[in-house]
Amino acid sequence: MSSNSSNSSASLPIGVFDSGVGGLTVLRALKKALPHEDFLYLGDTARLPYGTKSGATVARYALQTTRVLVDQGVKLLVVACNTASAVALPGLAEAYPDLPVVGVIEPGARACALKAPHGRIAVIATGSTVRGAAYQTAILRLRPEATIATRPAQVFVALAEEGWTEGPEVEAVAARYLTPLMAEFPEGRPDCLVLGCTHFPVLAEAIRKALPEGVCLVDSAETTAESVAQELDRRGLLKPGSGAGRPVGTVRFFATDDPERFAKVGEIFLGQPLDLADITLVDL
């Protein structure tokens, strides 16, 4: 479809939800890829982390958060949470058959499947994502011959939320995680390393320093933003208008608990200050 489609839905914002603030790395990538689009972001901060909950509970939470965004009016939903992307997409598709939904796992899997010439792929994520094998399943669907090694890197989450994103201490943690993971591949070098948690992109530079030369770093936030742009274009849902004078899109934030902490920690992941006045507290 043409990006100039007259579809009235094209003027609606894009909805994004996560269990907390990590999904703001996805929003950051979306804003960069689609600077003129409007966004609604919901962080379910009252019930994080999703990774410690059962799949049925996460699927229920995803439906509840999506309802808030749908009631506001959105043209596409981004599930900016690895845990929810792994378990909640079928339920969302059933509940909202006319709403396009993009998760963070499939785009990352597609990117590394294309960028791994020898099919050697490493994945770091939270413990729950690793145990659920969502990335492994998605990658093997595309590259059945792939060799995949995974490692949980939970400490990265805490470092990211504290704003400790660089320096010798962070690099030491990265080396502690990645050195044994690299050793699982021939010559100690996979083709790609997938950042399988939305917290991890803010640590990308420290992670790169712990990798052998030539290993491709796949940022699931960036790959998700690319998929969203393609999906909007395919459906004729890109925001109307063109030209240098187009205004930059707006963002409205929703949190289910403690907007002040959301603003403080969220700044790390979004890469810019968050105004408390822009955050609405919602009760699910």
- Report helix, strand or coil for 180: helix
Q: What is the three-class DSSP state of 152?
A: strand
Instruction: Choose among 79, 8, 37: nearest CA to 229.
Output: 37
Q: Where are the beta strands (DSSP E) in the chain?
A: 14-18, 39-43, 76-79, 101-103, 120-125, 147-152, 192-195, 216-219, 251-255, 279-281
Catalytic residue among 81, 112, 192, 216: 81
Pairwise CA distance, residues 143 & 17, whole Å: 29
Angle formed at CA 85 by CA 149 and CA 24, multiple of 5 degrees: 95
Instruction: Give yes or no: 197 in active site.
Output: yes
Distances (CA, A) of 276 to 101, 262, 279, 281: 28, 9, 5, 10
Annotated catalytic residue within 112, 192, 197, 216:
197
> How many CB atoms lie under 10 A from the CB of residue 248?
10
b/e map 70-100, b = 16+ CB within 10 Å: eeeebbbbbbbbbbbbbbbbebbeeebeebb
The upper half-sphere exposure of residue 144, i.e. CA atoms within 13 Å in the direction of its Cβ, equals 0
The verdict on whether 216 is a catalytic residue reads no
Tell me which DSSP letter residue 76 carries: E
Residues with active-site annotation: 81, 197
